[in-house]
Chains A and B, each alone.
Chain A
């Protein structure tokens, strides 16, 4: 059973471009969580999605950021018009439904805005 897969592992964008980060959850997992980690800082929650629904987006910046988890395919975190401050590691985690379940993380996408 493959783990949580994130791609690309490294992404370089110029200021003003769009960044698309993909996350394929573990097989059978219907919950996806996105986190951001700025250099030398902790993990900050961004958004929690279930298939076709956003459950909690309390950590998402109000502008330029969006996330989706369609019925088919990976979850996508999209950052429009990137700025240097968006440079960070973005981690995705997935879990199953129900009580007493653990969430497993991918290896992250390192976004560098130049």
Chain B
């Protein structure tokens, strides 16, 4: 059974850093394109970053230079390192399989990141 589980969210002060994780089961992260998508409270969906299976990474302009996507193949895990956090980064962060001309077919339940003093 395919499953995606995010962890690591929490309350963080503006300017702080946080790393969220996404553990996959039922498929191999390194053989798939993997993305992060976020949803601010009461708002719509926004693509944040993608890690192509070949190793290329890309970011939305809103997070470029502040967020870093990475993966640990031995742990079948995707990460999102978030630095210089702002109030507008407050959202549920979802990990999803998909990218490069493909939709997002499997999503985790999300992890809430709240940036506030």
Partners in one complex: no
**Which chain A residues have a beta carbon within 8 Å of chain B's beta carbons?**
none
